[in-house]
Structure 1
Amino acid sequence: MSRHQHHHQHQEQHPDGASEGWWDARYRESDRIWSGRANEVLVREASGLTPGRALDLGCGEGADAVWLARQGWRVTGTDISGVALARAAGHAAEAGLGDRVDWQRHDLAESFPEGEFDLVSACFLHSYGDFPRERILRTAASAVAPGGILLVAGHAGGPSWDPDAHADVRFPTPDEVLADLELPEGAWEVLLSAEHEQALTAPDGRPGSRKDNALKLRRVA
């Protein structure tokens, strides 16, 4: 699956199986794969929150985690790739924020960071194959502290220049994500459930777009 310039938060599986080694090799292909900018949906939805403890799932090269640290959050950033995490730690150190981010390697299908968090962010956590996204997101919800926020952002389909791309990947709607979370009745408040269009540049350089969506929930109990 392609990841566009502003989408650096996926933790995907290649059709042949994306192990830690596969992703390490992918990151070694270039000094920087993603844009270095925080995801717009995270910036928009987290800017008004009181900083506390944050968890960034599939943190890649660390742009979201570094942005959160710059806003005053203490961040745990996790990714399957040790190469990506080392690069992310370097970016945090360059920004003078190295002491505000705890980088942890996890294959989220197998393990998950410990503790409770005031913000758990899962931006563009899509997969091929058997990557158990729904189960991972349920674990993410259980890691949100009372009063805390769960933010899940995802694609709503293929890009404008190839709308049938990744036809074998499920791109759930916000309502479907909410249903998949299987949350206890009355324990969560829906703050945002919406689809939006993201401007992109097509591979041939022409303007393009892709529909994304976001679900933002507050744990009230």
Structure 2
Amino acid sequence: MKKIVILTGAGISAESGLGTFRDEGGLWAQHRIEDVATPEGYARNPQLVVDFYNMRRAEAATAQPNAAHQAIAKLQADPRFDVMLVTQNVDGLHEAGGSDPVIHMHGALNSALCAACDHRWAAPLEMHVGQACPSCNQPAARPDIVWFGEMPYFMDEIYDALAAADHFVAIGTSGEVYPAAGFVQIANQSGAQTLELNLEPSSGVSAFDDARFGPATQEVPAWVDALLAT
């Protein structure tokens, strides 16, 4: 059984209408990352941060998975392959497209986190500052999102999978945000074949054995179909 680790970034959801950091006119263009995606920003203005993620949650709730999400789910369902799907996205479109399991290294919009006791629960469509935790009743609810400066989730499991992988594929990622940007080096050191699928070359494309460029809805299904045909 071939072991494959897939890393996805915002580029795979762009064709479902969800913007990336760099899109002009989107939610991110209206806010500084320091204000809405750091613990310091939340401490300064929790209302701004909660409102921002309420908007992102509402936006994601209307989005539909695309052919790239569905192709990955198709690959996961094939018993010849052991696929770990790791996503930097928080939108839930992989699950909507049929993938299971999905490793959300940066958290998820549909999850709430208690800053006091670490309890997690399903987030309402609209969260409020000072919302009480259903477990400890402290007014410490926050979006269950890994902000810049915080440690991503499931890193031990991801590193173990990279060390044992036959293939590592990065899809729709910028190659600029660590630790995910360093996954290709770990995979290379472990002897895995590495591939980047992206709309355009990432900043780390030279580290990959192969790279293919174009819309995710074209490149990902083509790669999956070729792999399933082997």
Structures share fold, TM-score greater than 0.5:
no
TM class by shorter-chain length?
0.3 to 0.5
- Normalising by structure 2, we get a TM-score of 0.44
Between structure 1 and structure 2, the one with the greater Rg is 2
The structure whose residues are more often helix, as a share, is 2
